[in-house]
Amino acid sequence: FFFDCTPSRLLSLSIVFPKNALLVALVIETKQFRQMATLYQKESTLEITGDVISVTPLGRNQNNQKVFSVVIEDLATSDRNLAQKQDVNRIPVTFFGDWADACCFLATGDQLHIHKFTVDTTDSDPTTPFMVIVNPNSEVTVNRTRRVVINASNVKDFEYQEEAQKQSQTFQSLLVRGHNQFTKIGAYYDAIFGNREEKPRFDFLLSILQGYHANNVLDCACGTGLFSFFLHEYRMAVTGLDCSDIMLDIAKQKNASLPEGRQINFHSADITDFRLTQANARREHVTQTFDCAICLDALQLLPDLEHVKLAIRNMWYHIKTDGHLIIDLPHSVALDKPSDQSAFHYDLVQQNLTALGSPMLLEDGTLEVIRRSYKEKDRRVQEWYGFAQQYSKQKKVKYYTNWTERFDELIIQAPQFEALLEEEGFHVVAVYGDQVGGEFDPTTSTRRYYVCARRFMGTMVVGDEHDIG
């Protein structure tokens, strides 16, 4: 017995019986389909494939298991019906238990293939005569627009999930040691990196975004929101995310000073593992996309290249198909120096930040900083020593603060990084040698400032032609 719900290449449902069984093709009405599904679902081999259009957590079931609903769509057969009042292009799929944990890796645009599922008929809803249930014996493959990241017989072999958890634990262990968390320097970050002398690098970023007519921007590893507040001044819709509670608390305090309704959206999230969603016209939670994502002076703080890859992949999914990615990181030549030491003086006054559109939370005073850097194995270590003298207007007294902070920076070689960008769906449009648009020289430049265009990673059908992105 064979039942094919559509001749489409994307969505098919088959029930396979022993070799000697008689093969008969039938057109099945809703009631007949339910009877067939109920009778044979335990003994049958079922396969279904479709594009993910929504991923929605449903809480927990009566067994206290997590439950996710994933709606898949066959875009090629939107006018066909599988059964009465049931569009082929909208199939509800339910994941529960361990499979539900795996759903955090699903995103709209993924292609989902399920083998050995269970059919659940629902008499209560005439518009949905059945739904697909992923059970412990199911086999699931997720193709992320021609890039397979999940291929498991069951959740115990869910290699991508296990690897991501292992990497996340590695990253968290690095944070626990106190490195790269801006625990001490965070309070003075705006004074060091956001003073008016830094404005040219903000203007350069703005010129790129305006050149691409970017209206909404995702600021990855936004820190205290220096770039977010600057772009907000130019009427751009900005969303910022960062995993440092210290930095994000400062950003949120500054955000509170903005008029209600014009505040920036800040999220506590790890750039190697995040998903931002928004409700579409059907009130389904879909991945939020942006004209451009920026990740400035941050990727080198990740523990290894695998985390860098995960971060870039996550940004790819949150950028529109014609969008762009801007990345700034130290050039490996600069990081290869044996050792270096510099001293800096900063005036803690509000006027130094007003040019950047960012409120200043520090009280007036001065800050002296010594930065020492040296190479340690495959990393560049930066040690910061700060001494601040400030005046409390409320208490009318001077007070002093001293602190130290250490950063372990990954040395990322240019060929390796650019190959990774191409692999993850980005085409490098331009590379600058500093943060203000200077020409890149591989032997002398201290920075690599990338402007990348997002590529379509798959086959896009236009009429009868196929365009490989």
Q: Where are the domains of the chain?
A: 22-160, 183-454
Burial annotation 410-429 (CB, 10 A radius, 16+ → b, else e): bbbebeebbebbeebbbeee
Q: How confident is the model at residue 460 (pLDDT cuts 50, 70, 90)?
A: very low
Q: What is the pLDDT of residue 101?
A: 65
Q: Distance (Å, rounded) from C-alpha 469 to C-alpha 467? A: 6
The tokens of 25 are what? 């093709």
Mean of pLDDT over the chain: 75
Which of 259, 210, 214 has its CA nearest to residue 238? 214
Q: Distance (Å, rounded) from C-alpha 128 to C-alpha 118? A: 15
Which of 2, 410, 377 has its CA nearest to residue 171? 410
Q: Tell which wins on pLDDT, 15 or 121.
A: 121
pLDDT digits (tens, 9 = 90+) for 30-75: 444 444 444 334 434 567 778 787 778 787 887 777 788 888 875 5
H-type helices in 212-331, by residue range? Answer: 226-233, 245-255, 305-317
Cα dihedral value 277, 281, 283, 284, nearest 10: -50
Residue 149 has pLDDT above 70, yes or no: no
| Rg of the Cα atoms in the chain | 27
Q: How confident is the model at residue 258 (pLDDT cuts 50, 70, 90)?
A: confident
pLDDT digits (tens, 9 = 90+) for 314-324: 899 899 989 99
Q: How confident is the model at residue 122 (pLDDT cuts 50, 70, 90)?
A: low
Q: Distance (Å, rounded) from C-alpha 391 to C-alpha 338? A: 39
CATH of domain 183-454: 3.40.50.150
Cβ-based neighbours of 268, under 8 Å, separated by 6 or more: 241, 242, 243, 245, 248
Query: β-strand 147-152 against 139-144: which pairing, if any?
Result: antiparallel
> What's 103's DSSP letter?
G
Highest mean pLDDT of the ranges 136-140, 275-279, 379-383:
379-383
Which of 192, 227, 139 has its CA nearest to residue 366? 192
Q: What is the pLDDT of residue 31?
A: 46
* pTM, to two decimals: 0.64
> What's 106's DSSP letter?
-
* Nearest-5° Cα angle at 171, 169 to 176: 90
Q: What is the pLDDT of residue 457?
A: 55
